Amino acid sequence: MSLSVTSLVLLMVCGTQASHFLGTVMTYYPKDTFADGSVTVTLRYKLNFHDCTSDTTWSCLSGDCGTRTYTLYVVKQESSRDWCQREGIMTRQISSNAPFDLWLNSGNWISNINGIVSWRAVTRVELRNRSDTSKANTSPQTTILPAVRVPSNCQRNFSLLMFDPDGDKVKCRYGNSSLSECNPCTPPSVLSLSSSSCTLSFSPTSSSNEGSYVVQLVMEDFPRQTITLTKTDGTQTTITTNDAISKIPIQFALKVDPAVPSCTEGLFLPKFLPPTPANRAQLYNNVNQTLEINITAEALNSTVSELLYSGPYNLINSPSGPGQFTLRWTPSESEGGQSLPICFVVQAVSGSVSCFI
């Protein structure tokens, strides 16, 4: 039995309703290097739609993207069937460790205020050998629900998950249409972004700004010192602290809901209680052993009704009482050494109004 350690990173965010495409996230892990210089890489990605049958395919944008095999699994179907998140696990075999770009390019997004119709997302896969770690680069790790929900009268900061297995500095930015990262890339007018902390901030706004928005972000990793990247043929490239090594998309929907009577957590909006893990906590677990994540929440003027989550497809949710849930995950041999992110929110209902945290 392997004793490889697998880490999870947790993030608490929020969710929404939708009708078609609700974004994507992709991460990658170098796998094997062969004597002939060819390499394999595992890519895990989320596809978010209104249902669990709609599909779209990652294709090659630039470079040698090699050959692929992939499988799609359902992660979570929201109980009212407003959205479904699936996880794809893709393996690509490439003739060398040269970088390449994958992209999604189709349509359509859910109806939204910032006028995004077509979906487009890009992942840059960098597999050249790093001088600081003596191995190939691993992308930053993150995930998010298909949608983030916030009442129009509540201040909220959404600290996106940002973890890098190589210890790199992680930054976030809005997508750039000139780099084919979105089409168009108009950011939501109701959000501000802190690049260095990957935090989205929402301030109270008028009822005229209520509705759905599309958020199209790019997460990048930067070395903490100047390094060289080496191809299998010996060619080297210098990367400074100002140069991104790889990039992944973070795309989802934001819904600004009508105002709630109180923005204080624990009244109408649910409040997490111990032993719920802290935001961005890192937990460690061995292959073939089951990790349990216990979650407790309360809302005095609402009824806690559902746990919504994003993570590996084999994550299992078991309600264990009012406002109490347990997420269980048993990493397989193939997941040994990977850092797999999990995020979750709790939904509470007050009358016909749903509240999230």
What are 23-82's pLDDT values in tens digits? 999 999 999 999 999 999 999 999 999 999 999 999 999 999 999 999 999 999 998 888
What would the pLDDT profile of 76-102 be if each residue is shown by its tens digit? 999 888 899 999 999 999 999 999 999
CA 206 – CA 27 distance, rounded (Å): 36
Q: What is the pTM of this model?
A: 0.92
> In the chain, what is the straight-line distance between the N-terminal and C-terminal CA atoms, in Å?
39
Q: How many CB atoms lie within 10 A of CB 266?
A: 17
Query: Would you list the DSSP string of 102-158?
Result: EEEEEE-BPP-TT---EEEEEEEE--SEETTTSSB----B----SEEEEETT--EEE
Residue 242: count of CB within 10 angstroms of its CB: 8
Buried b (16+ CB within 10 A) or exposed e, 308-335: bbbbbbebebeeeeebbbebebbbeeeb
Residues 6+ apart with CB under 8 A from 183: 105, 118, 119, 120, 177
Q: How many Å apart are CA 284 and CA 84, to the nearest integer? A: 28
**Residue 351: per-residue pLDDT:** 46
Confidence of residue 350 (pLDDT cuts 50, 70, 90): low
Strand partners for 146? none
Pairwise CA distance, residues 156 & 312, whole Å: 27
Which carries the bigger pLDDT value, residue 351 or residue 113? 113
Torsion over CA: 111, 347, 257, 186 (sign): negative
pLDDT band at 313 (very low <50, low <70, confident <90, very high): very high
pLDDT per residue as tens digits for the range 223-247: 999 999 999 999 999 999 999 999 9
Angle at 347 between CA 352 and CA 202, to 5 degrees: 95
